[in-house]
């Protein structure tokens, strides 16, 4: 079971890398879009995050439900912004930087909480 959990953590990190990297490479560009890397990264984060929480609940250790709830709310906000803006030819700076900032916030919560 530990191997499955480690694979899920790895995939969760890959989802973060795709989401953050897909946004980061566009910072200097004239137009910004929600590219496939960002879309698939957000979906990967949601799926692997839910599976990781399920594995935590099955284990014997304590589960920090407050942290999971906060991370879930932030991730849902990211997913909504990505889904709303993914078909647009150009994304306004507000939603784009919100996705970038919320992605960093979610990683910060994971590391520092």
Query: pLDDT digit string (tens) for 52-86?
Result: 999 999 988 889 999 999 999 999 999 999 999 99
Could you tell me the end-to-end alpha-carbon distance of the chain, in angstroms, rounded to an integer? 25
- Mean of the per-residue pLDDT values of the chain: 96
DSSP per residue, 37-100: HHHHHHHHHHHHHHHHHHHHHHSSS---HHHHHHHHHHHHHHHHHHHHHTT-SS--HHHHHHHH
Any residues with CB less than 8 A from the CB of 100 and at least 6 apart, and which?
Answer: 20, 23, 24
> pLDDT at position 39, please?
98
Q: What is the domain count for the chain?
A: 1
- The predicted-structure confidence for 30-49, as pLDDT tens digits, reads as follows 899 999 999 999 999 999 99
Q: How confident is the model at residue 91 (pLDDT cuts 50, 70, 90)?
A: very high
Q: How confident is the model at residue 7 (pLDDT cuts 50, 70, 90)?
A: very high
Distance (Å) of CA 11 to CA 45, 46, 92: 8, 11, 29
Nearest to 88 by CA among 31, 37, 44, 40: 31
Is the confidence at residue 17, as pLDDT, over 90?
yes
Domain of 36?
2-112
């Amino acid at each position: 079971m530990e191997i499955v959990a480690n694979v899920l953590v790895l995939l969760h990190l890959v989802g973060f890398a795709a989401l953050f990297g897909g946004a980061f490479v566009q910072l200097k560009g004239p137009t910004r879009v929600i590219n496939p890397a960002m879309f698939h990264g957000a979906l990967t984060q949601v799926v692997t995050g839910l599976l990781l929480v399920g594995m935590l609940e099955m284990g014997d250790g304590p589960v920090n439900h407050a942290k999971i709830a906060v991370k879930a709310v932030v991730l849902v906000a990211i997913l909504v912004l990505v889904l709303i803006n993914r078909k647009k030819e150009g994304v306004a700076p507000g939603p784009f930087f919100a996705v970038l900032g919320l992605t960093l916030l979610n990683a910060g919560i994971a590391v520092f909480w």
